[in-house]
Amino acid sequence: MNACIITIGDEILIGQTLDTNSQWISDQLTTKGINVKEMISISDEKEHILKTLSRCSSENDIVLITGGLGPTNDDITKLTLSEFTGSELQFRPEIFDGLKKYFEKRNKDLIEKNRSQAYLPVNAIAIPNHRGTASGMWIEHDQTVLVSMPGVPTEMKNMMLVILQMIEEKFDLPCIVFKHVLTASIAEAILSDQLQEFEEQLPKHVKLAYLPNLGQVKLRLTAKGDDSASLSKDIDREVQKLKSIIGKHIFGYNDDTLAGKLGLLLLNEQKSLATAESCTGGYIAHQITSIAGSSSYFKGSLIAYSNEIKTSILKVKEETIVRYGAVSIETVEEMLKGILELTGADYGIAVSGIAGPTGGSEEKPVGTICIGVGSRDKIYVKQHQLLKDRMLNIKLTSTIALDSMRKFLKRQLELHPK
Amino acid sequence: MNACIITIGDEILIGQTLDTNSQWISDQLTTKGINVKEMISISDEKEHILKTLSRCSSENDIVLITGGLGPTNDDITKLTLSEFTGSELQFRPEIFDGLKKYFEKRNKDLIEKNRSQAYLPVNAIAIPNHRGTASGMWIEHDQTVLVSMPGVPTEMKNMMLVILQMIEEKFDLPCIVFKHVLTASIAEAILSDQLQEFEEQLPKHVKLAYLPNLGQVKLRLTAKGDDSASLSKDIDREVQKLKSIIGKHIFGYNDDTLAGKLGLLLLNEQKSLATAESCTGGYIAHQITSIAGSSSYFKGSLIAYSNEIKTSILKVKEETIVRYGAVSIETVEEMLKGILELTGADYGIAVSGIAGPTGGSEEKPVGTICIGVGSRDKIYVKQHQLLKDRMLNIKLTSTIALDSMRKFLKRQLELHPK
pLDDT of residue B16: 84
pLDDT of the residue at A360:
93
| Section A161-181 average pLDDT | 94
pLDDT value at residue A162: 97
Q: B279: buried, middle or exposed (CB in 10 Å: 19+, 13-18, 0-12)?
A: buried
Mutation site for A-interface testing, chosen from B4, B5, B11, B13 by largest number of A Cβ within 10 Å:
B13
Q: Are A92 and A49 in contact (CB under 8 A)?
A: no
- A237-256 pLDDT, tens digit per residue, is 999 999 999 999 999 999 99
Tell the burial category of A369 from Cβ atoms under 10 Å away from its Cβ (0-12, 13-18, 19+).
Answer: buried
Q: Tell me: pLDDT of B90 over 70.
A: yes
CB-CB under 8 Å, B41 with A22: yes
| β-bridge partners, A276 | A302, A350
pLDDT > 80? residue B74: no
Q: What percent of chain B has pLDDT over 70?
A: 98
Chain A residues in contact with B345 (beta carbon < 8 A): none
Nearest chain B residue (CA) to A393: B290
Helix axes A153-170, A21-31, angle to 10 degrees: 30
Segments forming the whole domain that contains residue A379: 258-415
pLDDT category of residue B414 using cuts at 50, 70 and 90: low
pLDDT digits (tens, 9 = 90+) for B19-38: 999 999 999 999 888 999 99
Instruction: Average the pLDDT over A307-322 and give the result.
Output: 96
Mean pLDDT of B4-31: 93
Interface predicted TM-score of the whole assembly (ipTM), two decimals: 0.86
pLDDT of A194-231, one tens digit each? 999 999 999 999 999 888 888 899 999 999 998 989 99
**Chain A CA closest to residue B290:** A391
pLDDT confidence bin for A118, thresholds 50/70/90: very high
Cβ pair B285:A288 closer than 8 A:
no
pLDDT at residue A332, rounded to an integer = 98
In this prediction, residue B1 carries a pLDDT of 93
Across the interface, do A23 and B17 touch by the CB < 8 Å criterion? yes
With both helix axes pointing from N to C terminus, report the angle between A258-269 and A390-409 in degrees, rounded to the nearest 10: 30
Based on the fold, state whether residues A21 and A160 are members of the same structural domain. yes
For helices B76-84 and B46-59, angle between their N-to-C axes, nearest 10 degrees: 50
Q: Count up the domains in chain A and report the number.
A: 3
Q: Do B36 and A24 touch (CB under 8 A)?
A: no
End-to-end CA distance of chain A: 58
**A160 lies in the same domain as A32:** yes
Quick one: which of A392, A402, A351 has its CA closest to A372? A351
DSSP string computed for B27-83? HHHHHTT-EEEEEEEE-S-HHHHHHHHHHHHHH-SEEEEES--SGGGTTHHHHHHHH
Confidence of residue B415 (pLDDT cuts 50, 70, 90): low
How big is the CA angle at B279 (ends B274 and B284), to the nearest 5 degrees?
A: 40
Distance CA(B172)–CA(B377), nearest Å, equals 60
Q: Which residues of chain A make contact with B295, given a CB cutoff of 8 A?
A: 305-306, 359
> What single-letter DSSP state applies at residue B417?
B
Encode burial over A242-257: b for 16+ CB neighbours within 10 A, e otherwise: beeebeebbbbeeeeb
- Measured between CA atoms, how close is B246 to chain A, in angstroms? 23
Same domain, A263 and A405: yes
Nearest beta carbon to residue A14 from set B26, B299, B304: B26
**Looking at chain A, which residue has its C-alpha nearest residue B310?**
A300
Do A37 and B42 lie within an 8 Å CB cutoff?
Answer: yes
CATH label of the domain that carries residue A235: 3.30.70.600
Q: Using the beta-carbon criterion (under 8 Å), do A20 and B18 form an inter-chain contact?
A: yes
Split at pLDDT 50, 70, 90, the class of A367 is very high
Q: List, in sequence order, every residue forming a beta bridge with A146; answer none if it has no partner.
A: A63, A139
Expressed in angstroms, the distance from the first to the final Cα of chain B is 58
Strands B175-184 and B250-253: antiparallel
Q: Do A134 and A222 fall within a single domain? A: no
* Predicted confidence (pLDDT) at residue A309 exceeds the cutoff of 60: yes
Residue (of B126, B134, B124) closest to B162 by Cα position: B126
Please answer yes or no on whether A27 and B16 come within 8 Å at the CB atom: yes
Residue B288 pLDDT exceeds 80: yes
Chain A, chain B: beta-carbon pairs less than 8 Å apart: 209
Which residues in chain B have their CB less than 8 angstroms from residue A40's CB? 38-41
User: Across chain B, what does the average pLDDT equal?
Assistant: 93
In chain B, the percentage of residues whose pLDDT exceeds 90 is 81
Write out pLDDT tens, residues B304-334: 999 999 999 999 999 999 999 999 999 999 9
Least confidently predicted of A162-171, A362-371, B129-138:
B129-138
Distance between CA B73 and CA B10 in Å, rounded? Answer: 10
CB B147 within 8 A of CB B137: yes
- Res. A418: pLDDT tops 70: no
How far B363 CA lies from chain A's nearest CA (Å)? 20
Final residue of a structural domain among A147, A170, A193: A170
Could A20 and B19 be called an inter-chain contact, meaning their C-beta atoms sit closer than 8 Å? no
B302 to A301: CB separation less than 8 angstroms, yes or no? yes
Total number of residues shown for chain A: 418
Q: A23 and B12 in contact by Cβ < 8 A?
A: yes
Chain B partners within 8 Å of A299 (Cβ) = 305-306, 308-309
Domain boundary among A207, A222, A253: A253
Residues B230, B343 within the same domain: no
Residue where a domain stops, chosen among A202, A232, A253: A253
pTM of the predicted model, to two decimals?
A: 0.87
For chain A, the farthest-separated pair of C-alpha atoms sits apart, in whole angstroms, at 83
Residue A128: count of CB within 10 angstroms of its CB: 13
pLDDT, one tens digit per residue, over B148-180 is: 999 989 899 999 999 999 999 999 998 889 899
Q: Which residues of B touch A14 (CB under 8 A)?
A: 26-27, 30, 36
Q: Compute the distance between CA of residue A181 and CA of residue A56 in angstroms, rounded to an integer.
A: 35
Q: In chain A, what residues touch B391 (CB-CB under 8 Å)?
A: 290
Going by DSSP bridges, is the β-strand pair A347-353/A273-277 parallel, antiparallel, or unpaired?
parallel
B394/A292 Cβ within 8 A: no
The reply to whether A160 and A188 lie within a common domain is no
State yes or no: cis peptide before B212, omega within 30 of 0. no
d(CA B92, CA B103): 17
What's the rounded Cα separation, in Å, for the pair A110 and A133?
Answer: 11
Cross-chain CB nearest to A26 (options B15, B27, B304)? B15
Separation in Å, CA of A234 to nearest CA in chain B: 23
Do residue A128 and residue A179 come from a single domain? no
Contact list in A for residue B394 (CB cut-off 8 A) is: 286, 289-290
Asked which of A28-32, A309-313, A321-325, A394-398 is least confident by mean pLDDT, the reply is A28-32
B48 and B131 in a single domain? The answer is yes
- Predicted confidence at residue A416, as pLDDT, reads 47
- List the CATH number of the domain containing A295: 3.90.950.20
Q: What gap in Å lies between CA A54 and CA A172, rounded to an integer?
A: 24
State mean pLDDT over A265-274.
97
Asked if the Cβ–Cβ distance from B36 to A22 is below 8 Å, we say no
Asked whether residue B83 falls in the same domain as residue B147, the answer is yes
Are B270 and B340 members of one domain? yes
Does residue A417 register a pLDDT over 60? Answer: no
Q: Residue B66: which CATH number?
A: 3.40.980.10
pLDDT of residue B217: 92
Residues A6 and A154 in one domain: yes
Q: Is the pLDDT of residue A17 over 90?
A: no
What is the percentage of chain A residues whose pLDDT exceeds 70? 98
What pLDDT score was predicted for residue B416?
46
A306 closest CA partner among B338, B404, B206, B345? B345
CA–CA separation, B133 and B71 (whole Å):
10
Peptide bond into A357 cis (omega under 30): yes
Taking only the tens place, the pLDDT of each residue in A143-160 is 999 999 999 898 999 999
- Give φ, ψ of B247 to 5 degrees: -45, -45
What DSSP string runs through B180-204?
EEEEESS-HHHHHHHTHHHHHHS-T
What are the DSSP calls for A160-183, one per residue?
HHHHHHHHHHHS-PPEEEEEEEEE
Interface test with A, best of B131, B303, B358, B397 (most A CBs within 10 A): B303
**Alpha-carbon distance A242 to A236, whole Å?**
10
Q: Is A149 helix (H, G, I), strand (E, B) or coil?
A: strand
Q: Do A186 and A163 share a structural domain?
A: no
- Are A48 and A42 in contact, with CB atoms under 8 Å apart? yes
Mean pLDDT of chain A: 93
